[in-house]
Each structure stands twice: as structure tokens, then as C-alpha cells.
Amino acid sequence: MSQFDLKFGKVAVLMGGASAEREVSLMSGQGVLQALLSQGVDAHAFDPAERDLGELKQAGFARCFIALHGRFGEDGTVQGALELLRIPYTGSGVMASSIAIDKVMTKRLWRAENLPTPAWQPVDSAAATRSALVALGRPMVVKPAREGSTIGLSKVTGADQCDEAYALAAGHDAEVLCEQFISGDEVTIAVLGSGATARCLPLIRIVAPEGNYDYQNKYFTHTTQYLVPCGLPEGEEAAIQQLVLKAYRVLGCRGWARVDVMIDAATRQPYLLEINTAPGMTSHSLVPMAAKATGMSYPALCVEILHHASLDYPLVA
């Protein structure tokens, strides 16, 4: 029996699920599973789309590594089920997960705490999308409020594109968000830990073909450049890391997450875009890339994330 068997017990790696990001989740989950096994962890694959979550308790699982992305995995629903089952899990708790998946609610909290995020308008029709374009200016981003991986996202430059952009986003979520487009450097920042001990990993600057960091360029091409060290001035990187830690703590996140930020090319003002509380762990994923830049291997990263598995209410019988 390895040290990790004694420390973690039987571990379920939750992967797949029923969201639009199922394909990516399966890739993440398989990577995590193999990494944990390589470290002597008694880890097993578990797909909630194919098995009832109640089986976790029946099968004697002691912890869960959540490698699910999007709805029914990153939105507080699985977290709530695991709270009821009394099985500690990786990542943020019920409330933080449910807020973070909703870009509108996330922005409202960040704005309430005077944290910079691009101007936005929720819309419920193509006509409202056209009105938002007038208010927010061109170009404008239209996206589902509760999806990830740029699924359903469009960059709109004219009123004639609004109908199609709204229809695409609404096809993924009844709640659609129009957002001011920030032109400049795109960076992403991984956070590990909780509360006062949470820390940022190095920034990664993303340079996508024609500035189009879409689903295909995220996961299935090799043309996007990921720069770490990011090449930003040291003081600017440190300031963005402090901003990201505030954004993480405001939402009550724990364990780990990844925050996406745009830096205005003209003013160098960073703007918080969104936060992912169960980030990707594929071969193209950015948290492992940032960890590697600090000397942390992929398996070591997985073990650290698993080490922070917990419950919102650990003292409840």
C-alpha cells in the first residue's frame, strides 16, 4: 500500500458528464487518472453520465477529483451531491461553483467589490443584442452566460451579425451576455490553494491565430502560442496576480481555479473576464503548463489539487 493510499483512500476521478464540454472532460479525466495512478493513488474513472452518483458511497470512495467541465460538474450541482454523500471533492464549494459558472453573477460580485471587468449587458432577444451593440460599442462579444471553452461565443462588429450571434449563444443557454470587447494582451492565471494561503502560478500570455482563441484553437490545433514567462513587465505581472487573488477570494473559491484576463493595449488596464473552477487538464491545458514553469510536474500538480479536496460543511454528521 502506497503513502497516497493511506492518505487519500479510494479516489474517483469524475469525468465526462452531460455538458457540452464532455469531450474535453474525458481528456482531462484520463490525464488526471493516469497521473494519480503513476503516484500510487488508488484512483478510478467515474462518469456521472453513465453511473448514479450514489454508487460513489456504495463503492467506498473516500475522495473525488472533479475533472468535469461546464454544467452538472462545475456549477455546484455535483458539489451539492457530494456534500450530501459526505465525500470530499476538489475545487470550489457549492456556492462559489454556482456563482463562478454564471458570468453575469460573477461580474456583479466583482463590480460590487470594485474589481475591473468589461462592461456588459444581459440580453433576451436579437433586438436587445442590437441595442447592446450601440451601448457597448464595436466590436462586442456575445456568449452564453453559463458555458465555457468559448462555446457559443461570437465577436460582433456590425448590427447585421447580432441575430446570428444571439441565436448561437441562446442555443446553449437561455441567459445570454453581451460584453465590451477589450483589445490587447490575453493572459490566464492559475490559482492554487485557499484563503490566505492561495497563490498564483506564473501568467501565461496567449497568442492565437488572428487573435481567435476559440474552441478549436484551444484544444485541437498547435498554432496557438502560450508564452510563459509571459514577457510582461515584472511589476505588471505581479499586479495582475494580486488582482486575480482578490477576484478568487471574493467569490469564495478554494482548491484551484484559472482566471482569464484581458489587458487593454492602450491603457494597460487589466480586465477580469471569467473564472474557471474546474479548469482543463488536457495536453493543451494551461494550469499544467503554468505549474511546469515552476518546476511542478503534471502528476505532482494532480496530487496537490487532490490534497486540497474538502467539504463546505466538514463538521456536519
264 and 125 within one domain: no
pTM of the model: 0.91
- We report the CATH number of the domain holding residue 188 as 3.30.470.20
Q: Does residue 285 form part of some domain?
A: yes
**297 and 203 within one domain:** yes
> Is 74 designated active site?
no
**258 included as an active-site residue:** yes
Of the residues 63, 260, 271, 285, which is catalytic?
Answer: 260
Residue with cell 482566471: 259
Domain that holds residue 160: 120-180
Q: Which of 175, 193, 274, 285 is an active site residue?
A: 274
Catalytic residue selected from 248, 276, 285, 298: 276
Whether 311 is covered by a domain: the verdict is no
Residue 260 has pLDDT above 90, yes or no: yes
Q: Say if residue 110 is in the same domain as residue 259.
A: yes
Residue 274 annotated to the active site: yes
143, 153 contact by CB (below 8 A):
yes
Which residue from 270, 266, 298 is spatially nearest to 284, judged by alpha carbons? 298
Known active-site residue 276? yes
Active-site residue, 219 included? yes
Q: Are residues 105 and 209 in the same domain?
A: yes
Mean pLDDT, residues 124-150 taken together: 93
Asked if 249 is an active-site residue, the reply is no
Q: Do 206 and 173 fall within a single domain?
A: no
pLDDT tens figures, 8-48? 999 999 999 998 889 999 999 999 999 999 999 999 999 99
> How far apart, in whole angstroms, are the C-alpha atoms of residue 229 and residue 14?
32
> Is there a single domain that holds both residue 31 and residue 137?
no
Catalytic residue among 29, 97, 258, 271: 258
What would the pLDDT profile of 278-317 be if each residue is shown by its tens digit? Answer: 999 998 899 999 999 999 999 999 999 999 999 998 865 5
Output the nine-digit C-alpha cell for 74. 462545475
- Known catalytic residue: 149? yes
Q: Is residue 315 part of a domain?
A: no
Q: What is the largest CA-CA distance in the chain?
A: 64
3-state secondary structure of 123: strand
Query: Does the residue 141 lie in any domain?
Result: yes
Q: Domain ends where: 149, 180, 211?
A: 180
Residues 168 and 283 grouped into a single domain = no
The CATH number for 75's domain is: 3.40.50.20
Residues 197 and 297 in one domain: yes
Q: Residue 2: which residues within 8 A CB-CB, separation 6 or more?
A: 39, 40, 41
| Section 168-172 average pLDDT | 95
pLDDT at 211 over 70: no
Catalytic residue among 219, 248, 271, 298: 219
Residues in contact with 280: Cβ distance below 8 Å, sequence separation at least 6, in sequence order = 24, 27, 28, 69, 149, 218, 219, 286, 287
Phi, psi (rounded to 5 degrees) for 179: -135, 140
83 among known catalytic residues: no
**Domain assignment of residue 155, yes or no:** yes
- Cβ atoms of residues 21 and 149 within 8 Å: yes
- Do the domain assignments include residue 107? yes
Beta carbons of 306 and 11 less than 8 angstroms apart: yes
Do 169 and 125 fall into the same domain?
yes
Amino acid letter for position 72: F
Does 278 map to a domain? yes
Q: Are residues 176 and 205 in the same domain?
A: no
- For 235, residues 6+ apart whose C-beta sits below 8 A from its C-beta are none
Calpha distance 131→141 (Å, rounded)? 13
Q: Judge contact between 73 and 17, C-beta under 8 A.
A: yes
- Specify if 308 maps to a domain: no
Going by pLDDT thresholds of 50, 70 and 90, the confidence category of residue 216 is low
How many beta carbons lie within 10 A of that of residue 138, not counting itself?
14
Residue 21 and residue 108 share a domain: no
Q: What pLDDT was estimated at residue 223?
A: 77
Phi then psi dihedrals of residue 67, to 5 deg: -110, 25
> Which of 130, 149, 180 marks a domain boundary?
180
Domain count, the chain: 3
Q: Are residues 249 and 298 in the same domain?
A: yes
Mean pLDDT to the nearest integer, 181-197: 96
Which is the catalytic residue, given 149, 154, 217, 285? 149
DSSP for residue 213: -
Q: Residue 149 and residue 25: Cα distance in Å, rounded? A: 11
Q: For residue 257, is pLDDT > 60? A: yes
